[in-house]
Amino acid sequence: MSAPVVLLHALATSSAMWSAQRRAFVGAGHQVLTPDQRGYGTTPLGPAGPSLDVAADDLAALLDRQEIGSVALAGASMGGYVAMAFLRRHPGRVRALMLVSTKASADTPAEAAQRRAFASLILDPASRARVVAAAIPTLLGATTRGGRPEVVAAVRGLVENTSPEAIAWSQRAIADRREAFGVLRATNVPSVVVAGEEDELVSLTEAREVADCLPGAELVTVPKAGHLAPMETPGAVTAALAEVLSRAALSPGVRRKA
């Protein structure tokens, strides 16, 4: 069996967003971990303050519990931010890197303020439904909004069933993140950056900046996909990630107890 593959989900979704990729990689013989991050699914939010470092350490603790040393790590949107924090805090544990719909820059003060305002609004029962309804279309490309009603319904279900407290915690953690250009430049492993051509939240310019920082990384632009490309165009995203796994020629990365 090849080295474990970890798939980290986006904000306001869950591990279910990676269902197609999980099936494909398990079928190819990989051990696949698709954890629900702190506050999502059945994972408790806990008392820790909002921080991507906390989320990165959660992943390290999960791997330690399963005696896994190094992994092929994929992250979409927020999952990408957690992946970059993991690279910084736990060097040497990533053997292939796959970043989807994410950027390496920190938020501007205005962007950070907008995230914190969103967090406050989603915690308020009076504004929650309005905020969620406005946010869902931004997660999807125009092609999906216009012609993939089953994907729209699936994304709506994920977002509406996500704890408002988890979304608020995540938005505040993302608002406080640091830039990751330096850590990416130091990450010399097989890698890919995947960008939806119709992504309205992360521009192709921002995606290209990420790819340019990673030694030897390829930027794969997925047509007719927005921010949640793994759900919108699962075949194309799976192929892009699978190519990296093949190129890495990974063998099991297991940390044995002494």
Between CA 228 and CA 209 the distance in angstroms is: 19
pTM reported for the whole predicted model: 0.94
**DSSP result, the chain:** -EEEEEEEPPTT--GGGGHHHHHHHHHTTEEEE-PPPTTSTTS---SPPS-HHHHHHHHHHHHHHTTB--EEEEEETHHHHHHHHHHHHSTT-EEEEEEES--SSPPPHHHHHHHHHHHHHHHSTTTHHHHHHHHGGGGS-HHHHHH-HHHHHHHHHHHHTS-HHHHHHHHHHHHTPPP-HHHHHT--SSEEEEEETT-SSS-HHHHHHHHHHSTT-EEEEETT--TTHHHHSHHHHHHHHHHHHHHHT----B----
CATH code, 207: 3.40.50.1820
* Under 8 Å between Cβ of 144 and 225: yes
Query: What pLDDT is stored for residue 247 in this prediction?
Result: 85
User: Are 15 and 36 in contact, with CB atoms under 8 Å apart?
Assistant: yes
Q: What is the pLDDT of residue 224?
A: 98
Domain assignment present for 74: yes
CB-based contact 187:97 (threshold 8 Å)? yes
Evaluate whether residue 256 is within a structural domain: no
Residue 202: inside a domain? yes
Residue 66 lies in a domain: yes
> At a CB cut-off of 8 Å and minimum separation 6, what does 105 contact?
179, 181, 206, 209
Tally the C-alpha atoms within 13 A of residue 85's C-alpha that lie toward its C-beta.
Answer: 23
Please check whether residue 197 lies inside any domain of the structure.
yes
**Quick check: is 255 in a domain?**
no
Give the total residue count for the chain: 258
CB of 224 closer than 8 Å to CB of 51? no
pLDDT value at residue 2: 66
Tokens 């319904």 locate to 153
Domain count, the chain: 1
What domain range is 145 assigned to? 2-248
Residues 6+ apart with CB under 8 A from 92: 70
What is the number of alpha carbons within 13 Å of residue 240 lying toward its C-beta?
25
In a domain, 257, yes or no: no
Low-confidence ranges of the chain (pLDDT < 70): 1-2, 250-258
With respect to residue 253, please indicate whether it lies within any of the assigned structural domains. no
